Amino acid sequence: MEGFEKVAQLSDIAAGKLIVVDAQGESIVITELAGNVIAFSNVCSHEDCDFVFEGQGSLEGNEITCDCHDSRFNVLDGSVMNPPATDPIIIYAVQIDGNDVLVGPR
C-alpha cells in the first residue's frame, strides 16, 4: 500500500460523522457515505476555509458546503456544485486493511 497512510480505525467511521485527519501533508475529512469510506480535502478551493471546523460541517447527501461563501462540492468527485468556487476539491483514495483506514493519492 505504497503512498497510503493510516488515518483512523474503521470502527471510528460512521455515516454523518465527519472526522478531520492530517495525512498526505493536508487536512482531510473522512466519513462514510452510502456504505463506503470516503476522503476529501477539508479546505475549500475558493478561499481556503475549512469545511469542518470544531467538529461541525455541512454535509448533505454527497455535497459539502463551505460556510464561508456557500460554495458546494460533490465529495465523490470533487466537482463544484455551487459557486463562487470554480476549482474542484481534492478527493483521496481510501483503502481498508482489517480495521485500519488508509488514505492515499488518487
Domains of the chain in sequence order = 5-104 (2.102.10.10)
In this prediction, the residues of the chain whose per-residue pLDDT falls under 70 are 1
Q: pTM, whole model, 2 decimals?
A: 0.94
Q: Give Cα 71 distance to the centre of its chain.
A: 15
Dihedral through CA 55, CA 57, CA 63, CA 67, nearest 10?
-150
Give per-residue pLDDT as tens, 18-31.
999 999 789 999 99
- Determine whether 77 is exposed, middle or buried from the number of CB atoms within 10 Å of its CB (0-12, 13-18, 19+): exposed
Q: How far apart are CA 39 and CA 76, in angstroms?
A: 9
Give per-residue pLDDT as tens, 47-57.
989 999 888 89
